[in-house]
A and B are shown apart, each in its own frame.
Chain A
Amino acid sequence: MTFWTYRRRDNLVGYLFVAPALLGSLAFVLIPLGMVGWYSLNEWNVLGGTFEFIGGENYQRLLADEKLRDSLVATAWFAAGLVVLNLTLALLLAVLLNQKLRGTTLFRTLFFSPVLVSLVAWTLVWQLMLQPEGSVNDLLGLAGVDGPNWLRGESSAMVSVIVVQVIKNVGLNMVLFLAALQGVPAPLYEAAKIDGAGAWTRFTRITIPLISPTILLTSIITIVGSLQVFAQIAVLTQGGPGTSTTVLIYYLYQQAFQFHHFGYGATISVLLFVIVAALTLVQWRMRRKWVLHES
């Protein structure tokens, strides 16, 4: 009996509790990641049934692949547009909802509601609304603007997928910002007011620094999330017109599951992993320098 001291039993319980998560990580994250690395060193055509070690050839192909370069450009535009628009709009909505005003709960519900609408349903609806004769152009027509064929122009297609995605998900960041705004101590604003600081100064000198941890958190979530946007692209534009909206993950899907180049697909996966990991690590480091305080 003395062998099972409280400490030993505690250790055992600890290991048992983390076992499912740990084994899951090994089986479905880490080992597959290693396999992605191995596959990327092979030429593997599923249809032809060939699997052959070719060393760094896939990586040379990666460097020379113009479609990949287009895809990286599209990914960068998509991520940048998405993050800027999403965070700006989320902050604007949060500030508006943080005013002393009746009915803000109702507006909060309305702004948040697209988060709950099934993703593909939401995308299908926008696909229809963005047709040349659809609602978006009807609305623009009321303002006297002749709207384009949104999903068929290169830049307008990119704008469309960004806007559709932002409106779908901005409610999440809005809620996080709203909680952060409510955590800013009111006396700070009072004191600044007495010192003669205007609304804009109070916003940039007090609000922004104090909610900087939330800004960082939301920007990490949003950037990494933007690299995983697949359904919207697949439904709205299929990466087109041309390659203008072929973001990296869509290109990965095309290579691996439409053209059956598993080896090259795995090489693109490695690239995707490197980008996500680098972005996340950079942002975690920035936290130390950039963020004013951690709660």
Chain B
Amino acid sequence: MSRKVWLYGLLCLLCVPFVFPTWWMVTSSMKPISEIFSESLLPSEWTFSTYSTVFKMQPFGQQYWNSLYIAVIVTVGTMAVAALAGYAFARIKFPGQNVLFVVVLTGLLIPSEVTIVPLFQLFQSLGMTNTHWPLIIVPIFGAPCVLAIFIMRQFFLALPPELEEAARMDGLGRAGIFYRIALPLSRPALGAVAIFTFLHSWNLYLEPIVYLSTPDMFTLPQALTQFVDIYGGPMWNVQLAAATMTAVPILVVFVVAQRQFIEGLAHTGVKG
């Protein structure tokens, strides 16, 4: 019995630094600025004016949409590229396969930050700076996609071959086998890839500040740091309101779907 009390006590104590920042972010965004550094856990008077200030200071709705649509396209695109390549590397035998796999895999050794200078140069010469193209194309086809390909390949390697042989007997071609048999079965791995990819795109910071220069093109991480007063000092309660709007929707989705979420990730981690 006392062991249980100890364990619960320890767990609750350890929880504090994980839970408190989020709690504090949400509640302080509704505090008047004078109370930002007060020790109270709740505002003495609730104010929502910070939330309208967010939209007055920046095209925050536009920035929200930028982040969201970029992340969705990158996620769907990565799932497609990774599923196709992962399947081919795992299940189809074709000449040069191993060499090509090694070529793709080198991306794991080259973080996308290493190549930021030539990529910037490339997109500048194409007239694509201050557009969203670099934030969409590079993650889908470049280094961030390699981990996804690896995860998908590991999954398809473990798939029993009998399923495909039966489908082949029934006259399905390779593309049909992939689309009708393998892809539907790979949902757990695709789910994990989707989560990783979405979060990666949603959190991207270096690339947006390198490529984007006007507020209506900004993505959320970049926009969050721009809430400053005329002297350049941060407007903390407004920042917190914007941060809350950025963080809370994702957290809600997570809490609703948390079982599939965590178990999907764990599953992939063990295999990958």
Contacts and interface: CB of A to CB of B under 8 A. Distances in A.
A117 B240 CA distance: 13
B203 A10 contact: no
Contacts of A54: none
A32 B122 contact: yes
Given A179-B266, A180-B270, A269 B203 contact: no
B84 A118 contact: no
Interface string A1-43: 0000000011101110110111111111111110110010000
Contact of A109 (B117, B242, B258): B258
B51 interface: no
Interface stretch (A58-66, A73-81, A120-128): A120-128
B37 A131 contact: yes
A176 B264 CA distance: 10
Contacts of B173: 9, 13
Contacts of B209: 234
29 contacts: A10-B174, A13-B173, A14-B92, A14-B94, A17-B87, A17-B88, A18-B104, A20-B81, A21-B84, A22-B104, A23-B141, A24-B140, A24-B142, A24-B145, A25-B104, A28-B141, A28-B143, A30-B106, A109-B255, A110-B15, A110-B18, A111-B14, A113-B19, A116-B199, A124-B240, A126-B21, A230-B206, A266-B117, A276-B109
Name the interface size band of chain A.
35 or more
Interface in B248-272: 250-251, 254-255, 258, 262, 265-267, 269-270, 272
A29 B106 contact: yes
B142 A17 contact: no
B74 interface: no
Contacts of A227: 111
A113 B18 CA distance: 7
B151 interface: no
Given A18-B85, A217-B272, A280-B108, 15 more contacts: A10-B92, A10-B94, A22-B100, A30-B103, A33-B115, A35-B121, A96-B11, A107-B11, A113-B251, A116-B247, A116-B250, A129-B21, A133-B37, A217-B269, A272-B111
